[in-house]
Amino acid sequence: MSHLPDCLYCRKDPRLTDLMIEVAPLEVSTLYLFKEQTYHGRCIVAYNGHVNELYELPEAELARFMQDVARAAGAMKAAFNPAKINYGAYSDKLPHLHFHLVPKYVDGPAWGTTFTMMPDPKKLLSEPAYAELIAELRQALSASAALV
């Protein structure tokens, strides 16, 4: 029996891979591309350890996690040029610290209001289209790492 909690982020099982694709490891978290792409470039930053709340992290670890979130958002801005990035941290039904990073575009879906977590109908892409988004994000992450 595994010592991992029954958590899709910890186990990285089909519950995770059905919803998102790993883009890159960050300092203390992992960046994922959300497969549902109503919001072009939508991502998740999931903390690598199993905690549910920001206040559960020691101060230095909290700073590193928030730096990961900011770095991912900066890469999304560089790659996709949204007008705004919305941040959502919920975990009501999935107790694991993670942030939804949702690019918003003027005149795009839900501009000026809260994004819809699971839009209907879903906008799913082809494998090559996901690969292209991931390549753009990785390039932007590499460029941001070179600046540090």
Average pLDDT over residues 40-69: 97
Q: What pLDDT score does 147 carry? A: 57
Q: Express each pLDDT in 87-111 by its tens digit.
A: 999 888 889 999 999 999 999 999 9
Higher pLDDT, 118 or 86: 86
Residue 2 lies in a domain: no
Q: What pLDDT score does 132 carry? A: 98
Q: What's the gap between Cα 138 and its chain centre?
A: 13
Q: What pLDDT score does 93 carry? A: 86
Give this prediction's pTM: 0.94
Q: What pLDDT score does 2 carry? A: 55
Residue 142 lies in a domain: yes
Residue 1 lies in a domain: no
Q: Which residues contact 131 (CB under 8 A, 6 or more apart)?
A: none
Please determine, for residue 16, whether its predicted confidence score (pLDDT) is greater than 50: yes
DSSP code string of 4-66: S-S-HHHH--HHHHTTEEEEEE-SSEEEEEES--SSTT-EEEEESS--SSGGGS-HHHHHHHH
Please determine, for residue 140, whether its predicted confidence score (pLDDT) is greater than 80: yes
Q: Which residue has the tokens 């928030």?
A: 66
Residue 64 lies in a domain: yes
CATH code of the domain containing 108: 3.30.428.10
Domain interval for residue 64? 8-147
For residue 100, what are its two tokens? Answer: 């939804």
| DSSP 8-state secondary structure symbol assigned to residue 139 | H
Please determine, for residue 148, whether its predicted confidence score (pLDDT) is greater than 80: no
Residue 3 lies in a domain: no
Residue 122 lies in a domain: yes
CA-nearest of 125, 135, 80, 131 to 102 is 80
Average pLDDT over residues 45-50: 97
Residue 60 lies in a domain: yes
Least confident of 28-32, 63-67, 116-120: 116-120
Q: What pLDDT score does 1 carry? A: 40
- Tally of structural domains, the chain: 1
Please determine, for residue 113, whether its predicted confidence score (pLDDT) is greater than 60: yes
Cβ pair 31, 43 in contact under 8 A = yes
